[in-house]
Amino acid sequence: MTEPGDRHWERFPKTRYAGSKRKLLPLLANVLRKLEFDTALDPFCGTGSVAYLLKCLGAEVTASDALESNVVAARALIQNSTETLGDEIEALVSGLPTSDGPIGIVERVFDEIFFERHENRFVDQILPRIDKLHGARRDLAMYSLFQACLAKRPYNLFHRANLAMRTRDVARSFGNKVTWDTPFNVHMKRYATAADAAVFDSGRACRAVCSSALDMDPTGCDLVYIDPPYVSSKGAGVDYLDYYHFLEGLCDPENWEERVLMKYKHRPLQGRGQNPWCDPAGIIGAFEETIKRFCGSILLISYRSDGIPGIDEIAGFLKHAGKHVEIVDAGEYVYALSRNRRSREIVLVGR
């Protein structure tokens, strides 16, 4: 396959998204370069960092995720090969927020929850402006807004109503108050520039789809990269809908309010806690089913060494599906399971 240039994937914008494999891309590039594939599916694409790497390696890539906000980002950075926002971002953010106009959903429902009042107003007022854009330029603007929202949040998450953590006048041992307090317009311009720099044409048609992984068509994919949510050995899972519900709301502001669970302080969306991938009782079956579904392809699986299921159990599912299994640990191939139980990133390759 042709590549646009060595380490082109470094142009993928830096991110603090939970579970992002951006930092693992050098390792994954080494693993992927040894495999033969022309088409690839990333059905838990998250930020899209690995789908972007696959695009850089010349594959025809499909990136999909259960969260719409991730799919908007994947459309902007992977499906899109030509459009950029350029100077348009200046006009988009200029003069906001204004003190006139109706109170929007963010100001009404999320008062003193995630952002300050004038910041909520900014978010409400930029949405109709972004809506006037079309196609990939709209996706790039939404992506910049998502990243600005994340940058301004303690832990870069929306899982707690903890604005006070940011605004309280106390000495802090973590986080970056300067980043939290940097205005939305400054963040958005910065992220729009980073996103523009990542856009490129690989000469292959890539696409982004919003779907549950198990609803994706398994046919026609030479390689499938599986990077699901992680459940720790203590049974603690990651509910991405609960972490990033605010970004999901931004994707569909018209129907946001009726989907909000007002009984929780952080105002999450209906559907939280219902994903088998965040539940120790559901994740083993979900793994088994996913491997069975995509077993016609080369499978690459990212997981942590101390999770549920264990690496040996996942390897067992792959072998049961007729795969020869290699386990990649911290950059080197090992052919037996390590007894070291400290949490490490592991990649299983099933061919």
Ligand X SMILES: C[S@@+](CC[C@H](N)C(=O)[O-])C[C@H]1O[C@@H](n2cnc3c(N)ncnc32)[C@H](O)[C@@H]1O
Q: Dump the DSSP string for 198-239.
A: H----SS--EEEE--GGGS--TT-SEEEE----EETTS----
> How far is 210 from 310, CA to CA, in rounded Å?
28
**Contact indicator for 253, 107 with CB cutoff of 8 Å:** no
The correct pick among 29, 59, 63, 67 for binding ligand X (CB under 6 A) is 67
Residue 130: CA atoms inside 13 Å, Cβ hemisphere, count? 26
Binds ligand X by CB under 6 A, chosen from 60, 124, 227, 248: 227
Nearer to ligand X, 176 or 274 (CB): 274
Which region among 65-73, 160-168, 183-191, 259-267 touches ligand X (by CB under 6 A)?
A: 65-73
Check residue 141 and report its DSSP letter. Answer: H
Report the alpha-carbon distance of residue 218 to residue 229 in Å, rounded: 20
- Report how far Cα 144 is from the mean position of its chain's Cα atoms: 14
Nearer to ligand X, 49 or 144 (CB): 49
Confirm or reject binding of residue 348 to ligand X (CB under 6 A): no
Q: Work out whether 311 is an interface residue with ligand X (CB under 6 A).
A: no
**Residue 267 and residue 113: Cα distance in Å, rounded?**
9
Contacts with ligand X, 231-250, as mask; x by CB under 6 A:
---------x----------
Q: Does residue number 62 form part of the binding site for ligand X (CB under 6 A)? A: no
Q: What does the alpha-carbon distance between residue 239 and residue 25 come to, in Å, rounded to a whole number?
A: 24
Residue 253 makes contact with ligand X by CB under 6 A: no
Among 65, 107, 124, 248, which residue sits at the site for ligand X (rule: CB under 6 A)? Answer: 65
Q: Which lies closer to ligand X via its Cβ, residue 106 or residue 347?
A: 347
Residue 96 as a binder of ligand X (CB under 6 A): the answer is no
Q: Let me know if 128 is exposed, middle or buried by CB neighbors in 10 A (0-12, 13-18, 19+).
A: exposed
Q: Kindly indicate which of the ranges 63-71, 114-122, 257-265, 318-326 contains the residues binding ligand X, using the contact rule CB under 6 A.
A: 63-71
- Residue identified by tokens 């930020």 is 47
Of 12, 37, 44, 246, the one binding ligand X (CB under 6 A) is 44
Kindly tell me the burial class for residue 33, based on how many C-beta atoms sit within 10 Å of its own C-beta (0-12, 13-18, 19 or more).
exposed
17 lines the binding site for ligand X (CB under 6 A): yes
Of these, 275, 299, 307, 347, which contacts ligand X (CB under 6 A)? 275
Contact range with ligand X by CB under 6 A, out of 62-70, 129-137, 183-191, 343-351: 62-70
CB-nearer residue toward ligand X: 9 or 277: 277
Binding residue for ligand X, selected from 9, 27, 46, 311, defined by CB under 6 A: 46
CB atoms within 10 A of CB 269: 17
Q: Interacting stretch for ligand X, rule CB under 6 A, among 38-46, 115-123, 141-149, 245-253?
A: 38-46
> Under the criterion CB under 6 A, does residue 19 sit at the interface with ligand X?
yes
Neighbouring C-beta atoms of residue 235, cutoff 10 Å: 11
Instruction: Please give the residue ranges that form the binding site for ligand X (CB under 6 A).
Output: 17, 19-21, 43-47, 49-50, 65-67, 70, 212-213, 227-229, 240, 275, 277
